[in-house]
Chain A
Amino acid sequence: MLPADCSRRLVAELQGALDACAQRQLQLEQSLRICRRLLQAWEPTGTWAWEPPPEPETNEEDPLPACTPSPQDLKDLEFLTQALEKAVRVRRGITKTGERNKAPSLKPGSLVTSPGMTASTPPQSPGQAGGHASDTRPTKGLRQTTVPAKGRPERRLPSVLDRTRVGIGVRAPRPGAGLRNQLMAPSAAPQAPEAFTLKEKGHLLRLPAAFRKAASQNLSLWVQLSSMQTSDSMDAAAAKTQFLQNMQTASGGSQPRLSAAEVEAEARRLRKACSLLRLRVREELSAAPVDWMQEYRCLLTLEGLQAMVGQCLQRLQELRAAVAEQPPLPCPVGRPPRASLSCGGGAEPTWSPQLLVYSSTQELQTLAALKLQVAMLDQQIHLEKVLMAELLPLVSAAQPEGPSWLTLCRAVHSLLCEGGARVLTILRDEPAD
């Protein structure tokens, strides 16, 4: 058995690592659920998907779907649609009118699409319903999007009929549940309507205008913000520095005392220095110089590293001395909370909208896997150091007698030298006598 305080520390450390992993796993699973759902069949509600950009004549209309239409609106909508349908028919000419005329049932069909949309475009033949334009320039999307949009209702005849019977206006996507329910029921109809999947029709989707506007505004604001930070006004910066200095002098101390955050930051830097230096030393010592130039470089590097190690040691001693003799300002609460530092701390720009471009699934997976690998290695190294600090003293202090010591040795060896993956075997070799 391990001593109590050692046990506590080890278990706490490992449990912390386990919790971090569990949290990350939860996030991933949540994201997976959402992605899987998106890749199955679902219904993009009404106008949000196949909403074409507004016609060139009208102003940029904002189909803010926030409001539910009143019955009056619905009626008006129906009248308008009928009028436009008539215009379409007239335009189309004789040949197609036959098909169109077949259906008072088709009239509701156009309710699905935005009324007014059909008016200005030369209507495509319904037979082309299935063939969607593959290029989708958003600004001229009117032409392309009308094709599939119009095609759809003709296929999903029964569903559309049901919809209009219930009298749902298209302009307003009600709480999605309501609309979707109506859509779901008729889709059970034997007509076998094509369900929407991202795979087949994903490129037809369109984001709503209100969102597009807000998103582009958002992007431009962030860009403005980040460019403003990199070229901060000189006056403001000077005023701030002056203010800070005045604060310092007004509090009676000419020299700012070392704050806890600064001590931590310095210690973190020196820890990093230690790891980097050690790694570099390993590299140099294991390198085999082939000519005098390389040998000379190696020598100089080692001597330089030696100097740097000395400097770091000195800084550490100074830090410890400073902390010891003049403790940082005492805090009311035992442990100061970790301040809400952003990624870079201090005066760095907080977020700028940069893109991360990848070209294939393979690449994305490699990138993510490497990121995770680096994080895991980081964690593993930290644990290794902790385990070393706790367990090695135990092995050296314990009396090498009895099987329990051997168990300890095997366990410690496995944990420290094999990352817990493998265990060595110990054979007792009794001398035969």
Chain B
Amino acid sequence: MPRMGYSFPEEVLEHVFSFIQSDEDRNAISAVCRSWHDIERWSRRRVFVGNCYAISPKMVIRRFPEVRSIELKGKPHFADFNLVPEDWGGYVAPWISAMASAYPWLEEIRLKRMVITDESLELISKSFKNFKVLVLSSCEGFSTEGLAAIAANCRNLRELDLGESEVEDLSGHWLSHFPDNYTSLVSLNIACLGCEVSFSALERLVGRCPNLRTLRLNRAVPLDKLANLLCRAPQLVELGTGAYSSELRPDLFSNLSGAFSGCKELKSLSGFWDVVPGYLPAVYPICSKLTSLNLSYATIQSPELIKLVSQCQNLQRLWVLDYIEDAGLVALAASCKDLRELRVFPSDPFGPEPNVGLTEQGLVSVSEGCPKLQSVLYFCRQMSNAALITIARNRPNMTRFRLCIIEPQAPDYLTLQPLDVGFGAIVEHCKDLRRLSLSGLLTDRVFQYIGTHAKKLEMLSVAFAGESDLGLHHILSGCENLRKLEIRDCPFGDKALLANAAKLETMRSLWMSSCSVSFGACKLLGQKMPGLNVEVIDERSPPDSRPESCPIEKLYIYRTVSGPRFDMPGFVWTMAENPALRLS
């Protein structure tokens, strides 16, 4: 037994550990010896649970009794695209009620893709006296009533961020529930709310909170009110406007421009719904300080975008619609040498024909001109292997690369070949690639390249690709650091899955929908792998009403230490260890 645990008093070790924040490091510390394990667990203040079903609240609480901050994620990523049926799960209520008694000093709750009710929000607001941060990213299940409870009861609230949640808007008066003597707000993001919030309450709130740094308004806040708000909060660092439109009025314009000029700390801008181009110059005075610009809801054309972007020499992050076109991306590449992240969204994703002049060339230009570019999300309608190879060679420092060619299985438009070689170049050159999304026409070969080269890859998204189980096998056997794999509409079946079953326990989760995995294989996996929950999702009818060789609709496999969950709806079956326990 190591004696070193006794050479320092506990307090000293605890003090040393308090400088160690990363989960990986703390996990390593707790493996040293019993005494370090104990000291560490009592001093861990922040817990991240990447899959809320991987462990039970009770287990977390038992191991870490003094947590102040918790982050939980629920539904799989493909839920964002309506692939996960309603009511699949991701309920946070059991966590909230367990923590309400166990963690009276809890300060922060961050949730992603979870279902949270007004009751839970109320419980939060009443149970945690020092509650400071509530972040709800892509959550649902609650209404403005729950927000009213938070506003009314959380005296120490610093941050309320509703992300892109689906909130039932019952009334805009919830904001008035912040008491008059409440002044500690630092960050407020209500951009997702549909209805108007009580504007006078908002103004007063903004006016009395001197530490307010982030304010993301919703679309319903009209442009003529924005100047007033900005004047009350010139210390803002991040601003999301409401609707950016109004009839062109000189007085309104000069007020707005003056207000923006007064915000000397402003670094991040977003919002810009319904933009009237005539008002864009109001932000010109602050462009050179901007590091983050989200114009992905702004329906402005390339010339205006170019004028704007050319002034943002310090831009690190740009989200924009494909209205920017190739020409705009060339201008971006010329002006924004510090660019780290680019996301280009489609303005007309369902239209059959291209509506804008955005092609693969735009991305090539940015890859050439922006040496720090590491993170890309790009929607376009044509791509070539040559372009991908160029991008890969230009940017070996790429860490996240998500390409969505809008037409499924679109080939290289120049050669009509699959895009295997292009994506192969990406994984070969970008040795630190952590996230990759594929699209276009792809054979099993691309997976061979990925399995061979993408050694740091943690998350892979695949759609309408591959030819056989070999594809899946390459991924599972080659990608050593793979944590999340999501697949839809690929001809992958049982073989690769069963042959790589053990790999699944080294990953957070695997999603497969509209593939060729049979019910029999799922049952087998469930029986043989007790450390996994193998969830079969089938809205047609119970899978055991068909032959075992029939493919199931959707499959979600994740590792867990707490066994099958008990909150599944009728169309989800967990393949259990003991066949007798299986619900049928």
> Do the two chains bind?
no
